[in-house]
Structure 1
């Protein structure tokens, strides 16, 4: 085993064995990111009054089962397959002695992992390895909200369904689980969804009904999307994207129907009038048929 490999193996062991030092690394427990976005995996070093001669920062990713997936920074040649391209990774603030954050661009569903920050410190003649607790990065497709005749649906695509849930929140803050489901998709991904009955008929026009879809991990809300629906004249089968939709009021349809009926009555009156007029003209003619015409000329 080379010195470089030994150092990184020791680093992985330090993640599981250390953590009782006064110098600490702060990492958020969870971050959520939309596919294609850039996410900042924050990691801050608390050193207090300690005198640090040198700081080296390391980043690695762990699978949800705790197994090593990839060394992210600095790049290390290993036998494992590359999951994240090196060009997508950089330190957010290189040269900063307390900010060890890592920036990852163009995130994909497959980037859903636990990301661990660690530092190697040289203080006087002593060297210490300080690991962070890791950040769970949840990558997902944008939340979709759909309204149809019978249901209100929220759904998204994720890499894993473990510890994830979708909930509906009403205006009064009441949470509803709804009919929760998921199904496997291509590329080892999953669609998850939650469905509740369309209850917009119960609201009172002209007020609107507001619903919020919540994506939660272990009961913690990480993403939310608000959906506002006009009470009057719900337009069914419309894809709702969180903005207010314009709907036709019911009385407009009644006005259109009444106008059509009035026009039909006017046309009928004109037709009847023309019919009676033509009949009157025919009765007032001096020659009603060919026989009359012959008698008049032969008399």
Structure 2
């Protein structure tokens, strides 16, 4: 790990993420960094692209604000990958240069920058009263999952959204679980949907916490190769593969339903969100196995 970037040593907010991405651009001019949209508060949502292959894999983190450790995991994986590519070193015992030629990797490390900043830094002054009202009057936002509008971004996608809306409590903006008044109302969710439609990925992985498990099916729309990939993820990570959960309107649900291609929701680590940084290295080890398995898998 390149310690000069301070990856994995402390929680970082949107400003720190931007600083690291700018450092990546400076050190690794062969990567591309794109803005795929903006958050409610106007923060650009960044995508890092690496590689020039025909196989297209997408990964994302921090859909949920208090799962900010997923951003750190993804950035650390990208850092390891870039170091291995440029130095000819091994990543988990494997050379990776062939992956650069075979795979185009897309990473959106922080889908919900406003939410992450709220959890780590508290609210901006002009929104303080409004978000505290959604937070039942509390100024402790450590468990906040939603975007700054109080809408859960992973309940915003048009995969049985109506069922999600019926099943979910609360029924108005809140720190977690409110799916909005319609699908794809939030700019962060729209940016992610547009990115996928534009790129038609072969496989997507959404990094969440917690549970040391992952979900790989949706309503029978998943293709046969999803099961093979799930077994490989299970083998390399030690996480439990779960085909179906009673959940709708998530990013991977919509991807599987829309494109009939493999999609995964990864629940990294174990405990109560936000997970402590003491788990970071253990989480990273399991995530690295999944990261490489996804890039290597013959879809």
Q: With the length of structure 2 as denominator, give the TM-score of the two structures.
A: 0.20
> Bigger relative contact order, structure 1 or 2, given CA contacts below 8 A and separation 6+?
2
Which one has the bigger helix percentage? 2
Q: Which has the larger radius of gyration?
A: 1
Which one has the bigger strand percentage? 1
Q: With the length of structure 1 as denominator, give the TM-score of the two structures.
A: 0.20
